[in-house]
Amino acid sequence: MCDMPTEVTSRDFVRKFSSYKKTVSNGNELVVKDRTGRRFVFRSEGPGSTLGSQLDDICGSFRTGVPVKNLSGFGRNRA
């Protein structure tokens, strides 16, 4: 994520914690600065989640036996 800043204020850090947490879990480091000027480093200890595990979270990680919907039959070339 190139557009994410590497140094943020503590107020902004609290507001956007979930997005900064994703950024840090991908291997980046974030410096949080409070109003007195002290700086804190926010980094992840373990490796970030893989794309496969993220997709499992989106699609549902347990198998129910019910087929997942797809886009066949939609659009111009319907059969």
Report if pTM > 0.75: no
What is the C-alpha separation between 34 and 14, in angstroms, rounded? 11
Tell me the residue length of the chain.
Answer: 79
| Stretch 45-63: mean pLDDT | 68
pLDDT in tens, 15-51: 999 888 888 887 788 999 999 999 999 988 876 667 7
φ/ψ bin of 73: left (φ > 0), alpha (ψ from -120 to 50), beta (otherwise): left
- Give the per-residue pLDDT at 72: 67
Q: Which fold has domain 7-59?
A: YefM-like fold (3.40.1620)
